[in-house]
Structure formats: C-alpha cells, structure tokens
A and B are shown apart, each in its own frame.
Chain A
Amino acid sequence: MAECGASGSGSSGDSLDKSITLPPDEIFRNLENAKRFAIDIGGSLTKLAYYSTVQHKVAKVRSFDHSGKDTERDHEPPYEISVQEEITARLHFIKFENTYIEACLDFIKDHLVNTETKVIQATGGGAYKFKDLIEEKLRLKVDKEDVMTCLIKGCNFVLKNIPHEAFVYQKDSDPEFRFQTNHPHIFPYLLVNIGSGVSIVKVETEDRFEWVGGSSIGGGTFWGLGALLTKTKKFDELLHLASRGQHSNVDMLVRDVYGGAHQTLGLSGNLIASSFGKSATADQEFSKEDMAKSLLHMISNDIGQLACLHARLHSLDRVYFGGFFIRGHPVTMRTITYSINFFSKGEVQALFLRHEGYLGAIGAFLKGAEQDNPNQYSWGENYAGSSGLMSTSPELGPAQRARSGTFDLLEMDRLERPLVNLPLLLDPPSYVPDTVDLTDDALARKYWLTCFEEALDGVVKRAVASQPDSVDAAERAEKFRQKYWNKLQTLRQQPFAYGTLTVRSLLDTREHCLNEFNFPDPYSKVKQRENGVALRCFPGVVRSLDTLGWEERQLALVKGLLAGNVFDWGAKAVSDVLESDPYFGFEEAKRKLQERPWLVDSYSEWLQRLKGPPHKCALIFADNSGIDIILGVFPFVRELLLRGTEVILACNSGPALNDVTHGESLIVAERIAGMDPVVHRLDKGLAALVRERGADLVVIEGMGRAVHTNYHAALCCESLKLAVIKNAWLAERLGGRLFSVIFKYEVPAE
C-alpha cells in the first residue's frame, strides 16, 4: 500500500491503513454517492466499478423579460447568469492488486452512505472465492455474472464509447502507439483475453460471441515460471527484468542450428528454433534478465501464434488483446505484435486496449445496469478523473509510477443523449476530428503543452474572477491549477496516456478539470458583458452592411465573420489584448486581418457560388460569444436567410472558454430576432434536422473547429471553413503570420 498514497505511509504491503494511505478523494471518489457496484476479481488484480451521481455546478443563462421595457438600454446585461446544481452520472473504476481486497472492502464499507444498494455484480475467476468475504464485509448480495459475457460486454462498450481506446503497437516508430479512431462497425473481431490463462473469443454481434479456444500458457505462466526461474516475486519486476535481457543467450536460434548458412538459405537467423533450447545443452549460469526475456518471448509468441491460428480459422483480421498480462508494457506489446505479424504474415492486426484490464468490470457493471436502458446514453471518459494509460515503465516520473503501480483509475461521464457522427460526413468511419496528432508530432506537442502551461495562470485568474462571491474560489482554483498542471506533466512524459493527444483533448482535459473544482464556466461574466456590447452594436453593423452593393457586401460579411473570430479568449495573443483593452473594437480587428490573398483563400470560388442558386439549408458551427457570433455570424446568417437558405446554428452544449453555448445562443438569437425581422427562426437540435432539412452547406468557424479539428474533414456537401490564426507559432507553421486568414471553400467531388 505504500506505493499508492500520496501521503504514502505504511510499508506493509498487505494492510491497507485506511486512515492514512488512501486519499479517498483520489481513489474511491464519490463513494458516498455510489449507487451500484460491480467487481471483477481476476487471478491477481481486482477491478471495482461503481456508479455514482455527481453533483456539480452548471452555469445557466436566463433571459430577462424585455417585453415591457425599452430595449437597448446601455450597461444592462442582456441576460442573467445563475449557477445551478446539476446531477450527472459518473462511472468509476478502480484497479488494485488482490492483496488489497480486504482492506479496500473495509474502506468501502466505512464510507458507503447509500443504503439502497443491495446487490453487487461480481465476475472473474475470483468471484466465487471472495463471495463470502464481500457479502460479509459489504452486506451486499453477490450476483455472479458470467466472466465471458462481462468481458465481451465491456469490450464492446469501450470500443464504441471511448475515443482512442484501441491502438496498435509500432516498433521503432515515434510514437510507438498508434491509436485507432472509434469505428462504428466493430464486429466481428477476435478477443484474446490474457489473464492467468488465455481465452480466445470470437465476437460477432453485441450479444453473439463464442469461446473458440484458449491456452494455459498465459500471464500466470509468465509470473509463476518467471518467479521460479528468477526468484523475482513481482509481475512488474519480472517484466522489468525482461526488458533488459537478451533472449538469444537462452534460446536456441535458427543461426545456432544452421550456423552461418541460414543466410544463404533465406532463413532469418534470429528466429527462435527452440525456446530455452540453450539451457538444455550448455552447463552455465543464465542471467535472470535473459531468462525473463526468453520467457516473455516464449509466451508472447505462443499467444500470438494461437491467436493467428484462430483468426485464420474464423477469417478474422482484427485481434484485440485484453487482460492483465499486457498492462501497457511496451516490451510485451512489441513481442505480441511481432508474433502476430510473423505468424499471420501481416494479415492479422494486433490491437491493444487502453482499458484492457477493465473490460470485465465494465461488463459486469453494465449487466447490472441493464434495467437503466443504457442505450439512451453515451459515455465519455473524464480526463480529470482517470489516471490514464497505466504504465509501469521505468521512464515515468517516480510519482506517477508509484500510484499507477497499485491503483489505476478510470472515470466516465454519462451524457444524457447518445452521440452520433454528423450525417454530412463523407466517410464517417474515416473521420478524424483532429488535424494534428500530438503524439505523432513531437514539435507541435512541445509547443502546445507549453502553450497550455503558460495559459494556465490566466485561466486560474479568470476562474477566480468568475465567482467573486465564493469564499473558496481561490483555493479551488489552486487545486485546479495543480491537477491540470500534473496532467500536462503526465502528458509530457507519456503523450499517449489518454489515447491520442490533440489540441482538442488538451482543451477537454482543462474543461474536465475546471468542472471538477466547480468552475463550470469561468468566462460566463466575460461572455455576458461582451454579448451585451455586441448586441448594442448589431443594428449599426447591419445598417452599414445594407448600404453596400451586393458584391461588396459579400466580402464585408466574410470579413466580418473573420474579424469576429479574432475575439477569442482561448487564443493567448488575443486574450492579452482583450485583458488590457476591453474595447478593442470590431473595426480594429478588421484592420488587423491579413489583406487578401489570404493564407488559404478560396473566396473567389465562394463568391461565384453565391451568384448561383441559394443553398437549401446551411449548418453553421459557431465559435465565440459576443462580437464573433453577434457581429460576425449573425449578419452572415441574415444574408443567407435573405437568399432563401434555411440556417441551422450549432453551438456547444456546454461551456468551453468563451465559446458561445447553446443556452446563450438561444437568448442572443431571440434578442436579434426582436431587432431584425429577417432572423426569425432558428433551429436547434442537429442530426435529425440536418437530415430532415437536407443541409447542403456547412460553415465551420473558428480555430478550434476549422483548424485544430476539422481542417481535413471531408463533407458530402459544400463547406466553408474559416478562421483567423491567432497563434503565431501555428501561423508560422502554416506558412503565414499572426492574424492570417483561412478561408477554405470546398465542394465535394462529384
């Protein structure tokens, strides 16, 4: 237990000194609100899952009643902000070694407040062994669930719900992991679960799967035989030994049998002819490292071979590996991947899972939650609560290694509706909502991590400022700073800790962390003020636009869109200006814009298109609050409406920096509709609408949406991606300079 706690007392491995070593908010979070439990007890690790309700604050906006008063009074906020408590559901997963099980159960018993819970779902081989202990300690009835059913349920769940869950291992490449984007069609596949032994399961649909075989040579063999051979007791130590060993000292290789002739025969001399073959014919001492490596090779190769044989028999080309054996150890993934490639001649792909160890627990939990109609929700990993891809690799900082060695966490938030891909995507399976993979691009990674680190002070300041009435805001903001800072450091060490690292995931992580410490919307006040200012300017802007000739107006509208986009608090360059001069004007922003030709400039094609027939329906993804949406987007929307194009305005459902939220956009639209008869109807909701209305134009605005994420996204209709590059580094990278303009008008190929 010593390795788990930040407070780190107590060195006896078996006793979990609950009073000291378990920081409850770190490990068993929200235990007091835990509703439903599931436990998966394997041969060496216990995985515990529970569902809790999380109460957290959300910022809500509410419109004043303007009907009775004169509108446009100065200095009055356009709407009021209130912070409300909202209850959402969260899934927690904890993984720890079996030796801690009793202490953990005690801890749960002591902290569990909720008394409605009567049943705990249990799966895994150890379920029957610990059944009595669990029932006695927790006074819950143990419902045993079938191991394989849980495993498959869990695997399907993570493959569908967790972005970048699966990855392939690539030897000698940087990064060595390549994450797969979620694929809507996951079936059929082969799951090789490597626990103490190996189970091989063919999965055809959500509910149809078949245990097709297994092997007794698995993780238990590595551990057991390894312990006998090397006198090393711990699994991770064995792997550590293996990573330093030379298997060729112990294994009989092809070159040992054939001598130098293997080359002329076209054989690879390094192939293992006989594992441990040298220890039979040579009377010598073998080093622990070499034996451990040889053992690891032997077992990984064997598992890979069997997996290939089964994959071939069932004509499957994707093999997912789950279970406790791999544990994120690169050396293991390397050997398994090698083996799969070797035996299948490249026809079968070995895929690993970030949550390999949790599959059974997730499945058991879902099994228990079946009456909750799980299909109406979708789940997203909460970056603030998860401890990331577990790794015990020695390169990690000691702090991280210490914790992940014993406890490993995963949290998922339930979203109250299922998420789907935009139907307008040309090829949904290949859609990658990130332009730059930061695990791949070390230079960009370094830049962005530094960028987020540097922006942290400002975010903390703003967070405190957003809650002037709160006494503990400073304290919470400091906690947020610590947490986010640590996450950034983890990502520096281990870019793949949460799957693929992107600008988007960095932003998400920051939002999750802010939420964690009850800063639901640090920019709410700023947005409120800006929206007020912008709304007051709106009539003037529209008036001046209307005085222009058609062609002139089109350019002015586009420039307005772009200029509005300069007002982005997320961009450090802008936030500096805005902090110092809040009246940084719309017109000044226009002047700051790059002159045409822009960095990416397809304005002429766009203008040409506008001379043609109107679009049927346009879908616009709006970016920032205030000037951006009100003075940039809405005039543009108004023009489209005048042309006879229906417009769907899509905004974030929750706050992210100064991005306009759905709630805000509704109020803003309502206010504008009050001022301008043209804008009278706006649609909310999305996927169904888009399909229903036959959207044929998508406008994506802003750096985040148009550059970081969807720059390469191909749509099946016309699209307009526009942004102002408010980041010198990125501008330079793209071959421009600060405030360079991206105006990308695309028409899909016929």
Chain B
Amino acid sequence: MLKLVGGGGGQDWACSVAGTSLGGEEAAFEVARPGDRGKAGGGSPGWGCAGIPDSEPWAGVLQAGVVGPARWGQGAEEVGESAGGGEERRVRHPQAPALRLPNRKPQGGSGEIKTPENDLQRGRLSRGPRAAPPAPGMGDRGGQPERSAPHSPGAPVGTSAAAVNGLLHNGFHPPPVQPPLVCSRGPVGGNDAVPQRLPLLPELQPQPLLPQHDSPAKKCRLRRRMDSGRKNRPPFPWFGMDIGGTLVKLVYFEPKDITAEEEQEEVENLKSIRKYLTSNTAYGKTGIRDVHLELKNLTMCGRKGNLHFIRFPSCAMHRFIQMGSEKNFSSLHTTLCATGGGAFKFEEDFRMIADLQLHKLDELDCLIQGLLYVDSVGFNGKPECYYFENPTNPELCQKKPYCLDNPYPMLLVNMGSGVSILAVYSKDNYKRVTGTSLGGGTFLGLCCLLTGCETFEEALEMAAKGDSTNVDKLVKDIYGGDYERFGLQGSAVASSFGNMMSKEKRDSISKEDLARATLVTITNNIGSIARMCALNENIDRVVFVGNFLRINMVSMKLLAYAMDFWSKGQLKALFLEHEGYFGAVGALLELFKMTDDK
C-alpha cells in the first residue's frame, strides 16, 4: 500500500524514524544523498518516502540494526555521508565491503551487539568485486562450484535444518533439552514439561505415541524425534512472510526466554537480526513495524516471546532479497516460509541472489490458519475480533469486542490490492467464493491518478476530509428525493462519480472529495459483493480483513453500515485487529508444522 517514488539506485538507506532506540544514531550510518539528508535524518515518518526523490525503498532493512553503528556498504557505490548524526559515519570497505563489519560498540539503546567480523564473513560470498575471502570452517562456496557436503553449514535452507545434526544450524549452540513442540499462549517456561494443546492447530502438537506394532525402523525414527524435541523446533530466526501485490507482510517471533547461555552462543548474525528488528520500528524508507499490533508474551513452538508485525512495499522486495544475500542470511539455515503471489514470483530471486529456498505456501490456507490462531491467542489479553454497534447510527456507532470462539461458517473477505471472498466452514474446509479486482490497489491507484497523492496514508487522510456527495450522483439528485418503491433513500449513491459527467461540477470539486468518493465507491462495492455472497452461501457473519482496512475507519464503518442496512440487520460485519497480517502468521505457523512433520 505504500507508495514508492524513484528507487533510482541511490544508496539512500536512511533509517529515519524518530524515537526508535537507535534513532538519529542509526540514521547516521546510512548513506544519504546530500539532498535527502534533512528529511532522512530529521525523523520523518519512515513509511512514506513521499517527496523524497531517488529513495531506495527497502534499503537496508537489516543493515542498520544488525550492524549497529556500522554499515555494510556496497563497494564503490557507497559514497555516503552521515545523514543526521554528528559522528563520523563514513566507512569504506573497498575490498570486501559487503561482508565486513567494523567491530564497534553500538550506541544508544540498541543493546550490546557484538559484531565479530569472522561471524559475518562466513557463508555466501559472491560475485565480482564484492566477493570476500571465504571464512574458515565454512564451505568455500565462493570459490567452489560444488558444495562439500549436503549438510554443510552453507547448504541452502531447503535441505532442512532439522536434518542437520544439532549444532549451529538453528542459530544456537546446543541448548539444553527442549520441551516438545508446542505452540500456545500462556506462561510457558523454558522447560515446560506438559505441552499445552492448542485446539486450532493440532498439527503443531506433538506426534502421538507410536503404535506398538510399528516397524523397528519407524520406531527408531520416531524415538529419535521424540527424544530430542529441539530437533523438531525450527532454527531461529522465525519468520513468516506474505508477499502480496502491493505490500509484503512479515511476522517475526522474538524469543524472550533466551538464557544467558543461549545469548552467549547466539551467532552474531542472528543476534543482530533480532536486535535490529526489535529495536527499530522503521526499516529503511518504507519498512514499518506495527508496534501497536505486537503480540507480547506469546508461546510459540515452546518458546516464549513477542510476535512482531512488519510491512514494506512489494516493490522493495528486490532490495530485501539483495540484503538477504549481503547479510548472508542463508548461513542461518532458517526456512523462509512465504505465501502470497510474491512467494512464487520472487522464489527464483531468493534462490539465485540470496541462496535462500523459500517454502511456498498457499495464501488462503495461511490466511485462515493465521486468522484462527491470532484470534485464539487474543490481542494481549483483549479480544482480536470486534464489530460496530449501531452501525446505522453515526452517533451511537461504536467499536465493540466480539467473541469469535465459534466462527463457522463465516464469510471471509480479504481486502488487499484485490479482494478474495472465502466461505469458511471449518478450519480446513473452505472455498473461495469469488473475488473482485476492485480493492485496495484500485483505491490507491485511482487516488494517485486523481489527486496526485502518493501513499495510502495520504490518500486516506484526504479522504477523511472530503465529501463524496459532491462527486457522486445521489438518488435524490435524480429523483428529487427517496425512491420509495424500492426503499432507496435519497442520500444513497445512485451513480459513483456520476456528477463528474458535468464539466461545471468537475471544476468545482476538491481532491479531498475525489479521494473520499474513491474510498466510498470501492468500499461500497466490496460490501455489495460480500453481501451477495453471504446471501448465496447462506452465511450471516462476514469477517473483513486485509490491509485496505488499515487505519481506515471510514471503510470499516461503511461496511458495517452496509451489511446491517441492506440485510435489515441479518448480516454482521466483523473486523480483526491484525487485519492484514494473517497470511504472514499462517506462514509462520507452517514453519512449525513443517519442522514438526519431518
């Protein structure tokens, strides 16, 4: 949903959200074009790069945080200077800049990040001038076309972390024996003896005990798995990714139960990822962490921690992959579970550029599993789901919690760039009913064309101020009042943008009016299609999710109104706090399931 401008190759990595722990310090590490410095370093909101020409959208998502006060340059291109800070920030690494980190103490609140060079030098060494010498102990993959061993640390993620014997491959040195795999919420200690059952995700529960008559070999295999729970736990870092047409949604599980020992042994690369992601709320120009959505004190797969929600525009995907390559992400042997169309589109790039094998997942499966999971764990003690009471009365209309304990059947309307509508009958019985191409992408696309705005936020801000009735032709504009025979109120929209047929009216409306009309048009249309589907499928609960609803109270209330009004109170519109992130959560859940299945 985020509008990007330019991306013309500049290394403008300003990590520029004010108020993050690294704040100005962080920005200082970035290479900003001289002209951009003021904005970049000045704490402008990180999500937009409006007005900043030549910004590189997802520049340095990890760079800044991972390396602390260092920066991973890009060889000769990197001719930056400090953007906001006062200290010396220019570092050049002409020989192997991509891999080298100055061993430097970080400043500010980001904690102590040790960045021993050799930790970061391992792994993927690549092409041309940026290639660095192979790290000792790691497969020299830069120089050798063949890998030395299938399970060598340099092997791609896809060769399965669980199959690797222990050490290092999950990012940690051998930890103490772990409890069996569970994925639950609650006060789970580091050594939970009894796994908590999670009704929604039985596949994440431990395997049942083996039947006695199984073959010895099978028993043996199973025993091995049961013996060592930790083997069934995926290596850190834990990511789930949903690469949509407009936005990439990323969830990251930050373990908070790391023992001192673990901390000690956590590889630097991993640690720096953790520190970077958790200590910032904005990454590059366009990456954003939705701090308010963070799920705290969550137990997933036996570990306790926080689930972070991050998004960035899909057009920054290549930068992200590039960075994965530069950060040698593949050395962590994590499995990158990804869903959304981009999982397919970028699969090849992940493999070729970053040596990462994506585990591709069906997006509708992920959406539903993620939604059910998040709803089941709740939103930090509050309910995840809500509705609007008195939706037809603007004065009395207010948000109220809704208990989605028994959610079936539900009509699930996922509004991203486009819209998918699913009828869900149980956690794994659902069908895609229909979809429409008039979605969030249409709203933003039309708004950009009509008003010259550049971001979703900007478009919504304009819409909030506008009056669509100047743009739309209402029933009363045609009939002079209500069209009583069919119960159409005079204030109902008869023709979206209908007034714009007249030149005088075109000349008299504001951009805000246009933005509002666009928003109302798209929203009402989705509502109308959803309502028809609900009728056809005989379902009376309609759950609206997707990033089109992000910070979009206008649409939510319109949908709540439309469902209630047109169905004479029969249909209920429901909303969820983590509106756009369920696909990514579902992808993360698949990571556990996948590991467990092995």
Contact = CB atoms under 8 A, between A and B. Distances in A.
Contacts of A281: 3-4, 246, 313-315, 441
A343 B434 contact: yes
Contact of B437 (A196, A261, A301): A301
B436 to A, nearest CB: 6
B503 to A, nearest CB: 7
A196 B472 CA distance: 10
Given A125-B478, A280-B441, A43 B495 contact: yes
Nearest to A254: B341
B246 A280 contact: yes
Contact residues on A (Cβ < 8 Å of other chain), bracket: 35 or more
B429 interface: no
Given A216-B472, A224-B501, A306 B528 contact: yes
Contact of B536 (A221, A252, A313): A313
Contacts of B495: 43, 195-197, 216, 218-221, 224
Interface in B315-368: 315, 340-342, 344-348
Contact of A298 (B417, B438, B486, B532): B438
A447 interface: no
A139 interface: no
Interface string B439-451: 1111011111110
B496 interface: yes
Secondary structure type dominating chain A contacts:
helix
A220 B345 contact: no
A162 B3 CA distance: 54
A277 B246 contact: yes
Between B342, B348, B417, B521, the greatest number of chain A beta carbons within 10 A of the residue's beta carbon is seen for B417
Nearest to B445: A276
Interface centre among A148, A197, A252, A274, by most chain B C-beta atoms within 10 angstroms, is A274
Contacts of B416: 274
A224 B442 contact: no
Contacts of B244: 257
B422 interface: no
Given A272-B437, A279-B445, A306-B528, A252 B506 contact: no
A126 B495 CA distance: 14
Interface in B398-450: 416-418, 434, 436-442, 444-450
Nearest to B345: A259
Query: Which of A220, A227, A305 is the most central at the interface, judged by chain B CB atoms within 10 Å of its CB?
Result: A220
Interface in B478-533: 478-480, 485-486, 488, 492-501, 503, 506, 514, 521, 524-525, 528-529, 532-533
A257 B341 contact: yes
A229 interface: yes
B4 to A, nearest CB: 7
A581 interface: no
Nearest to A277: B441
Contact of A309 (B442, B480, B532): B532
A420 interface: no
Contact of A252 (B340, B441, B494): B441
B3 A280 contact: yes
Interface string A194-230: 0111000000000000010111111111011101110
A273 B499 CA distance: 28
Contacts of B111: none
Contacts of A214: 488
Contacts of B535: 313
A128 B440 CA distance: 37
A273 B341 contact: yes
Interface string B456-494: 000000000000000111000011100001101000111
Given A275-B437, A275-B438, A257 B480 contact: no
Contact of B533 (A229, A272, A274, A309): A309
Interface in A248-296: 250-252, 254, 256-262, 265, 271-281, 283, 286, 291
A609 interface: no
B3 A43 contact: no
A271 B434 CA distance: 13
A261 B344 contact: yes
Contacts of B499: 224
A259 B416 CA distance: 18
Contacts of B346: 259
Q: What are the 8 tightest A-B residue pairs by CB atom distance, in nearest-first order?
A: A224-B500, A259-B345, A274-B441, A276-B445, A220-B495, A257-B341, A261-B344, A220-B498
25 contacts: A128-B480, A197-B495, A211-B486, A215-B525, A216-B494, A216-B495, A219-B495, A227-B506, A252-B441, A256-B245, A257-B244, A257-B341, A257-B342, A259-B346, A261-B345, A261-B347, A262-B344, A272-B418, A277-B246, A277-B439, A280-B3, A281-B314, A302-B438, A305-B434, A309-B532
Given A274-B245, A274-B442, A276-B446, 20 more contacts: A197-B495, A213-B532, A215-B528, A216-B472, A216-B498, A218-B495, A225-B496, A228-B497, A257-B340, A258-B344, A261-B347, A273-B341, A273-B441, A274-B437, A275-B441, A277-B445, A281-B246, A291-B449, A298-B437, A313-B532
Interface of B: 1, 3-6, 244-246, 313-315, 340-342, 344-348, 416-418, 434, 436-442, 444-450, 454, 471-473, 478-480, 485-486, 488, 492-501, 503, 506, 514, 521, 524-525, 528-529, 532-533, 535-536
Interface of A: 43-44, 125-126, 128-129, 146, 148, 195-197, 211, 213-221, 223-225, 227-229, 233, 250-252, 254, 256-262, 265, 271-281, 283, 286, 291, 298, 301-302, 305-306, 309-310, 312-313, 343
